[in-house]
């Protein structure tokens, strides 16, 4: 099953300074371990065959000969190994010595890449021993009796992956070589490094790797020298990082006494889609020819691995940061975006009043909180916020009480208008039996509520604030021209899983005891439109997640489909990993099918959405992020779900 993943590894061996034979044994042991774990490409630290800290010993012919001899031994030991291995060593060429990465597979050297930027500052004196790649005199080199490509213009390419290489200081340059590699097709970069530790350097180094992987929309595998390097003047920690488009997938333990092999999978499908969507991912205008004319492609055959298990963590709640501090900051930022959007709309219209339907549910609660904050920001009296309770056939005492208590604690104007008599009259007018609790019964109530809100807004000179969220828009869980419609939809960019955390954040950080208690009870209330009568105990009978499925699953499906363009098969694979401890594969498949069915069939509702602020990378506005024909066929997606 090809899901677009490439399994990569960064290896940190324990070395002895200038003992190439010992270092070779450590390298080979880690190669063996990687092979057992089906690693397809792996990388070792800079100059790992000799060790980085040999100093003037790099000018000793015996050391250079020993390095080449041990490279031969590595080639012999890996003659049947399909894993691509990248090792570091000093390589003489002409009258110069280069700090190089050697790429090998199945006993053959695919190419040798020299370092470009040679540091000669502070504790670094590499120019004392090594020349820059800018000074190479030939584009081939003979090493271990093999004539192989030599230079920084090499890209190693298979049908599934194209990768490039840079070495340590190259990453710290204003324009790293990897930038050009990626503009010319590389989606994966390997960096062999020997970066010593000083205070604050780890954070800076990590930020460089994250930023370069993001800027290049690429996978980035970085590994630095570790245990065994000389500590005469500096110390190395064995820092290794596997990153993908700005995110850290895996990281080594610094200063670990044991050798390390960190493994993860790079999602090539994700990178490909992100590059397709990012129209600024290109060479600077007028420089395209200069960037691409000199690159040489080195073909190779990637080890075929049937990846059924992935090492990388799959976040079940992609819209919600798991770290509490980060989650609070995210909530504050989102809330500020909502408030800023509504503030601009109110200033533009000149209106001084807002009208909101308050049900006692999560969405209307968040919309009310945003509106209150907006009015405070604009210096408008909260009494100009008209919160309207519109009890119907399914309204429960719990939600009704919560709606009233919340509005009282916030100091907004409260109105209560029952929709029962109006709906009964409407049923008579259209010849519908009230005892028939079908779609007409439900939607008539939603449209009656919207009519009330719109008419009061006209009467009062106010703005109707929409309460529907992103998850409801994705599933079409809204009545067309009912709760689907408003004058400004403040929640339209926020998924249901995030709505809950936003309300909780406001409750904990900004509310007094009374408001907090009400908000916490709202958080504990089952999600429901309350369009069907309550049960005999007066409790909510119509529970949304019993009908359309868990919102945590649908938000996960939505994120993977829209953000990365993944297929149903891949989303199913990821969902099983993310929710495997909670839901069975059959359960996940059932609701995945529901998601695709509803997402396609309900596009017509999204094609005429009210304005509302975008808050994250996923948005379904027809004017911005998601332009889809309402009559598109879902057949190929549904067929793939059925085949799972």
Query: Annotated catalytic sites, by residue?
Result: 46, 115, 168
Angstrom distance (rounded) from CA 235 to CA 199: 12
Q: Is the separation of the CB atoms in 358 and 407 below 8 Å?
A: yes
Q: Is the separation of the CB atoms in 172 and 208 below 8 Å?
A: yes
**DSSP string across 17-45:** TT-HHHHHHHHHHHHHHHHHTT-SEEE--
Is 447 exposed, middle or buried, given 0-12, 13-18 or 19+ CB atoms closer than 10 A?
buried
Angstrom distance (rounded) from CA 233 to CA 288: 44
Query: In what order do the strands lie in the sheet containing 385-389?
Result: 413-416, 385-389, 353-357, 462-466, 488-489
What would the two tokens of residue 143 be? 């090493």
Give bridge partners of residue 190 from the DSSP assignment.
Answer: 165, 221
Which of 543, 547, 567, 548 has the alpha carbon at shortest distance from 557? 567
Q: Is the separation of the CB atoms in 115 and 133 below 8 Å?
A: yes
Angstrom distance (rounded) from CA 32 to CA 511: 58
Q: Which phi and psi (to 5°) does residue 637 adopt?
A: -70, -45
Q: What is the DSSP letter of 88?
A: E
C-alpha distance from residue 59 to each of 50, 64, 128, 193, 539 (Å): 12, 8, 10, 21, 83
Q: Is the separation of the CB atoms in 316 and 556 below 8 Å?
A: yes
């Amino acid at each position: 099953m090809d899901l677009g993943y490439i399994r990569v590894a960064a290896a940190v061996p324990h070395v002895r300074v200038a003992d190439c034979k010992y270092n070779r044994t450590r390298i080979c042991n880690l190669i063996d371990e990687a092979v057992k774990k089906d690693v397809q490409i792996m990388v070792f630290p800079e100059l790992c065959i000799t060790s980085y800290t040999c100093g003037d010993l790099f000018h000793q012919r015996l050391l250079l000969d020993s390095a080449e001899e041990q490279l031969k031994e590595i080639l012999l030991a890996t003659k049947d190994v399909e894993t691509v291995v990248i090792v570091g060593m000093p390589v003489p060429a002409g009258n110069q010595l280069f700090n190089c990465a050697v790429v090998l597979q199945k006993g053959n050297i695919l190419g040798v890449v020299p370092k470009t930027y040679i540091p000669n500052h502070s504790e670094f004196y590499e120019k004392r021993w090594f020349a820059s790649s800018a000074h190479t005199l030939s584009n081939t080199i003979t090493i271990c009796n093999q004539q192989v490509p030599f230079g920084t213009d090499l890209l190693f390419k298979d049908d599934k992956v194209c990768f490039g290489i840079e070495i340590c200081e190259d990453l710290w340059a204003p324009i790293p070589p990897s930038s050009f590699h990626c503009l010319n097709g590389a989606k994966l970069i390997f960096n062999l490094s020997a970066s010593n530790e000083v205070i604050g350097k780890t954070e800076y180094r990590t930020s460089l790797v994250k930023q370069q992987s993001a800027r290049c929309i690429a996978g980035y595998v970085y590994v630095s020298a570790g245990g065994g390097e000389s500590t005469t003047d500096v110390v190395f920690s064995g820092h290794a990082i596997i990153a993908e488009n700005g995110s850290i997938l895996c990281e080594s333990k610094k200063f670990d006494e044991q050798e390390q092999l960190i493994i993860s999978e790079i999602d090539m499908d994700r990178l490909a889609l992100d590059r397709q969507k990012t129209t600024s991912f290109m060479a600077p205008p007028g420089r395209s020819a200069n960037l691409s004319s000199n690159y040489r492609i080195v073909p190779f055959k990637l080890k075929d691995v049937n990846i059924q298990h992935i090492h990388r963590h799959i976040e079940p709640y992609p819209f919600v940061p798991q770290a509490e501090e980060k989650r609070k900051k995210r909530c504050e930022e989102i809330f500020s975006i909502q408030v800023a959007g509504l503030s601009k709309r109110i200033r533009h219209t000149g209106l001084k009043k807002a009208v909101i339907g308050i049900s006692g549910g999560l969405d209307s609660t968040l919309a009310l909180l945003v509106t209150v904050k907006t009015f405070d920001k604009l210096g408008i009296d909260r009494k100009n916020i008209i919160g309207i309770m519109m009890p119907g056939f399914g309204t429960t005492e719990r939600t009704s009480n919560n709606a009233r208590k919340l509005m009282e604690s916030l100091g907004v104007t409260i109105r209560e208008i029952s929709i029962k008599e109006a709906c009964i009259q409407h049923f008579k007018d259209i010849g519908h039996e009230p005892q028939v609790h079908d779609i007409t019964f439900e939607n008539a109530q939603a449209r009656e509520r919207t009519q009330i809100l719109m008419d009061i807004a006209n009467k009062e000179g106010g703005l109707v604030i929409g309460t529907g969220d992103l998850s409801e828009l994705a599933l079409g869980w809204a009545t067309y021209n009912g709760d689907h419609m408003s004058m400004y939809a403040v929640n339209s960019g926020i998924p249901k899983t995030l709505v809950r955390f936003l309300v909780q954040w406001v409750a904990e950080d900004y509310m007094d005891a009374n408001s907090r208690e009400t908000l916490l009870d709202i958080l504990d209330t089952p999600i429901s439109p309350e369009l069907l009568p309550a049960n005999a105990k007066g409790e909510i009978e119509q529970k949304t997640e019993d009908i359309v499925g868990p919102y945590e699953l649908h938000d996960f499906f939505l994120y993977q489909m829209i953000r990365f363009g993944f297929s149903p098969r891949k989303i199913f694979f990821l969902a099983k990993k993310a929710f495997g401890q909670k839901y069975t594969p059959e359960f996940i498949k059932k609701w995945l099918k529901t998601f695709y069915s509803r997402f396609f069939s309900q596009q017509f509702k999204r094609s005429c959405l009210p304005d509302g602020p975008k808050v994250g990378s996923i948005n379904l506005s027809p004017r911005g992020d998601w332009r889809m024909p309402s009559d598109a066929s879902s057949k190929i997606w549904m067929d793939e779900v059925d085949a799972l």
